[in-house]
Amino acid sequence: MDIPVITKENTEALFESKYANLYKLHYGEGEKFYYDATRRKKDDIVAVKSDEEFRNMKPDAVSCFVIMCEDGKEPMLLLSREFRYVTGQFITGVPAGLLDPEDTSVISAAKRELFEETGIKIEEKYGDRIFVVNPLVFSTPGFTDESNALVCAVIHPDKHEVCLTQEGAVGKEIFSGFVKLSKDDALKMLKDGVDDRGIFYSVYTWMSLMYFVSEMWK
């Protein structure tokens, strides 16, 4: 079968703003087009990248799996309640945020987001670890090219001062506290498909639960 060819020249901007854009990707005459909702500008959308550019592109954002480990205690997965405007609900999720232009790497972005949304500083000298789980996963390439890097942070709060706080939230972010889950709690949340309040959660929360209970972080 013929693979559709999408170029900058046959990409039509339907809506552009500071935070979101909608493009029409023409790959043939007439009704041969596809929509792309994206944060990226026209010259940087994923559809027009070469294979080499595709393999080396940066994700739009980073999502963090935070695991709290204390000697003699069961490891706990740290999640938070964040108001998500498009659901009208406080959703149980992971610390996450967009990569800023000044971020030198996914890890530097993750450290910044962790500090802003949880107050956590990574202290390698006390055994804390932060590492990339996956450099880029797409949210759903059926309508958007948005992507996230997945990063895991393993924290030892008994070895250095960790004061959980959400006062560093910036912009339109609204939080209402943290949730700590044991492995059994996480398994229940996976099986139930909702959190402890009966509220649905995002696919990135599901990823964090699966990564935690699989013990791949060890």
Domain encompassing residue 202:
61-214
Spatial distance between the Cα atoms of 144 and 126, rounded to a whole number of angstroms: 40
- What does the pLDDT profile of the chain (218 residues) look like in tens digits? 678 889 999 999 999 999 999 999 999 888 899 999 999 999 999 999 999 999 999 999 999 999 999 999 999 999 999 999 999 999 999 999 999 988 889 999 999 999 999 999 999 999 999 999 999 999 988 899 999 999 999 999 999 989 999 988 888 899 999 999 999 999 999 999 999 999 999 999 999 999 999 999 99
* H or E, element range at 166: none
Q: Determine, yes or no, domain membership for 6.
A: no
Residue-wise burial string across 130-150, b where 16 or more C-beta atoms lie within 10 A, e elsewhere: beebeebeebeeeebbbbbbb
Both 36 and 67 in a single domain?
Answer: no
Both 93 and 47 in a single domain?
Answer: no
- Whichever domain contains 158, its CATH number is 3.90.79.10
In single-letter form, the type of residue at position 175 comes to F
Q: Please give the structure tokens belonging to residue 90.
A: 């406080």
Q: Please give the structure tokens belonging to residue 106.
A: 């996914």
In single-letter form, the type of residue at position 45 comes to I
Q: Which residues contact residue 216 at a Cβ distance below 8 angstroms, ignoring those fewer than 6 apart?
A: 133
Spatial distance between the Cα atoms of 143 and 118, rounded to a whole number of angstroms: 31
Q: What is the pLDDT of residues 103-117, one digit of tens each?
A: 889 999 999 999 999
Q: What is the pLDDT of residues 163-176, one digit of tens each?
A: 999 988 888 899 99
Q: Determine, yes or no, domain membership for 1.
A: no
Q: What is the pLDDT of residues 30-61, one digit of tens each?
A: 889 999 999 999 999 999 999 999 999 999 99
Q: Determine, yes or no, domain membership for 3.
A: no
Q: Please give the structure tokens belonging to residue 165.
A: 């706080």
Q: Please give the structure tokens belonging to residue 170.
A: 């910036």
Structural domain count, the chain: 2
Helix ranges (DSSP H) in the chain: 51-56, 106-118, 183-192, 203-214
Q: Please give the structure tokens belonging to residue 124.
A: 């390698």
